[in-house]
A and B are shown apart, each in its own frame.
Chain A
């Protein structure tokens, strides 16, 4: 949690340093630099100390979770498996053991980033009716949310939506595909008050 709080101003500073290091940009009036003025100075020194000579941009890792672009933020969350999907049994909306384990990790991540707002999408395989699947997807999303809330994630940060069988991730008619489609899927939708 401490590192999380720390990373945001730090990354902004690093971005600004990168910009300053670039000769083509106007050095002083860049609006991105503005927040740096009030931020602590010490981290800048630390990084410089660890950085070998060369262009700063080659060395600096910007916190991807601070990315203001929600789409690339979600891509990062997905690639790192930070908010993995939760899978369900055929026709059911109850959480299996492995789903609870997955949700424990998702919940830990969400508690570490209290500014993130998320939507939980409930999905179904194609083997039900469209109408009942919309309801079943809602139940899956609801069960997923309720478990996260029981783990200490604020309910106000979570929105749910059911897509039923209308947005499958896999389009073949076999058990492997169906299993992938019976899921709760997480999307970071924005940043709000922690």
Chain B
């Protein structure tokens, strides 16, 4: 079912009637029930189909049919630089809306047969004639050395304007202008902000040794942030996106935890003593880290302050305890333990180390817990009988689990987008290890990387 609209609509120029928004959905649902959600690539074996709808949230909603004709171009004469920025903005906006997964999009090609006159009432009927429910009309303007975008969304049955926005920025941030508008549009239709302004951290051997990299949510703007020429791995975003914690071997005394400040590029050690410090994860308030640590004997889960002080041990088992992930509420920590069975399984404990319970029961080998942002689900790497990994998802209330991405290569290291609607992961589909993104309900995944081998994506929170 459609989510409620936001309580404070951020419309500046156009008044949004919450009623109109609901109307869009009401009409949308009534008018076009046949549009199915994209079918999962691999049906979960032995899982009743209704369980999928129960466990996972938005995917069963029909796609909203959005007409998006070409933006009205810059008035001539515009410098080539401005025109290039305008093209980039429009391309990014189309890609963002498509990637959002809530629209069935008709662009200039699909709309070409229409006879548009510029009379809105007439044109709206034309868009409607192709089954569209809403239309996005936009205009680009050159204002000095800046590019301005005015975008409006109209409900087609009623002709009501339901969203209007104006953005302006320098040419070099054309994509960010598009991302900002796209996120606002998604917020209006889903109640949750889009993720077009978020980033993904990962590690890669593309430049020789394994180093830490960042990229935009769509795979653009891939850039390296370490140059240790050693093994650097396991990046983890701080909740505000100001820093990435990671593991590196460069000091030569075993894997240790460092913090990279994004703005300054400075790196500083967090925990380097002991023989092993791995897999850091931030507390949601950004003040603490949990990680796995060994002093040359057992590997246990620890926490410390962001600067490495206040080290405290949370687990005491003779098995391996590793790969902790702090829950979005801050109250719990999921981690991997080989206690009992001798094989890794996912457990959850309270953040003080008490109230331990096992989460995964299917399969012999589950690792790499990733919380959904609402804290109801955990995704993980699940080893299959053929030795390949699949991405599994477990519901924390029912403990029901299913495989989200399975077969055709090995799939590991899931990480949820901050809206919970997508999962980034590592996949060997196509040969080398690449970062892919898939809807949180499954479906076709898309590769974001292609150079070298790429591992362990960690999706940022919303930019602050």
Contacts and interface: CB of A to CB of B under 8 A. Distances in A.
A157 B231 CA distance: 25
Contact of B320 (A135, A145, A166, A167): A135
B365 A136 contact: no
Interface stretch (A14-22, A76-84, A122-130): A122-130
Contacts, number: 85
Interface stretch (B272-280, B347-355, B400-408): B272-280
Contact of B275 (A127, A128, A130, A160): A160
A122 to B, nearest CB: 9
B368 A129 contact: yes
Interface residues of A, number: 23
A167 B233 CA distance: 13
Nearest to B336: A132
B166 interface: no
A139 B387 CA distance: 21
B323 A132 contact: yes
B458 interface: no
Nearest to A162: B276
Main secondary structure of the interface of B (DSSP, over half): strand
B365 A135 contact: no
B387 A127 contact: yes
B320 A129 contact: no
A23 B322 CA distance: 63
Contacts of A145: 296
Interface string B217-257: 00000000000000101100000000000000100011100
B297 A142 contact: yes
B389 interface: yes
B381 A129 contact: yes
B401 to A, nearest CB: 17
B296 A160 contact: yes
Given A91-B343, A136-B320, A142-B297, A131 B234 contact: yes
A163 interface: yes
A139 B210 contact: no
B276 A135 contact: yes
A3 to B, nearest CB: 33
A138 B456 CA distance: 20
A129 B367 contact: yes
Interface in A135-170: 135-136, 138-139, 141-142, 145, 159-163, 166-167
B189 interface: no
A110 interface: no
Given A129-B412, A135-B278, A167-B231, 12 more contacts: A127-B387, A128-B365, A129-B344, A129-B367, A131-B279, A131-B367, A131-B368, A134-B279, A135-B320, A138-B294, A145-B296, A159-B253
Per CB-CB distance, the 9 closest pairs between chain A and chain B, nearest first, are: A135-B322, A129-B367, A131-B323, A135-B320, A132-B367, A161-B254, A135-B299, A138-B276, A131-B279
Interface of A: 91-92, 127-132, 134-136, 138-139, 141-142, 145, 159-163, 166-167
